[in-house]
Amino acid sequence: MPLRMAEPPWGAARFAYGYLGTLLATAVTGLVSLIAYAIIGALPICSPEDIGYCQPIRTALVAAVVFFGCLFVVAHVIRLTWQWAAWFIAFTLLLFEIIVETDAVDLAWLSLLIPALAVVASFERPDRQISPKVRLARLIALAVIAIQFIIWVIVLLATPS
């Protein structure tokens, strides 16, 4: 039995596969996070005065990296393309920035729309070729979101609290 789907989903099935991919990546990340939390707690990397927040923050960073990596693996397996995973990550980072900047945690429900938005942003029909200009515009939009997020993090870290 092959590990990769034979045909890429398209149409309404892409939305279902987008949410399925998110669920699979979340399940793997949860498992890895449990293991990482135990390992990070056993390592002497947190000082005694930092122990209250050091272990959860480091585990959250490991979980984010694993989740984003799992998205690319799942996108490959269920044939949603790397663009779906890249848009998913871009929309997630954008929502995170909005929630942190506005201090509106009640906007977290918008994360339920991220798989659908990523499907729409990465949509390609199997029977038609997309213009190279459209592909370039998508790539530029992804780069702008990534660069803007990196600049935001740098400014956030440089600003005294």
Q: Is residue 6 part of a domain?
A: no
Q: Is residue 61 part of a domain?
A: yes
Q: Where are the alpha helices (DSSP H) in 9-105?
A: 13-42, 51-77, 81-102
**Cβ–Cβ under 8 Å, residues 131 and 139:** no
Q: Is residue 4 part of a domain?
A: no
59-109 pLDDT, tens digit per residue, is: 788 888 899 999 999 998 888 888 899 999 999 999 999 998 888 888 889
2-59 pLDDT, tens digit per residue, is: 666 667 777 788 899 999 999 999 999 989 888 887 887 777 766 666 656 677 777 7
Q: Is residue 7 part of a domain?
A: no
Range of the domain at 151: 13-158
Tokens matching residue 14:
């892409």
CA distance 37 to 56: 7
Global pTM reads 0.83
126-156 pLDDT, tens digit per residue, is: 677 888 898 899 899 999 999 999 998 888 8
pLDDT of residue 126: 66
pLDDT of residue 50: 62
**Cβ–Cβ under 8 Å, residues 89 and 68:** yes
Interhelix angle 81-102/132-158, rounded to 10 degrees, is 30
Q: Is residue 5 part of a domain?
A: no
Q: Is residue 77 part of a domain?
A: yes
Q: Is residue 42 part of a domain?
A: yes
Q: Is residue 22 part of a domain?
A: yes
CA distances from 122 to 73, 79, 115, 135 (A): 16, 12, 11, 10
Q: For the chain, what is the domain count?
A: 1
pLDDT of residue 34: 86
pLDDT of residue 42: 74
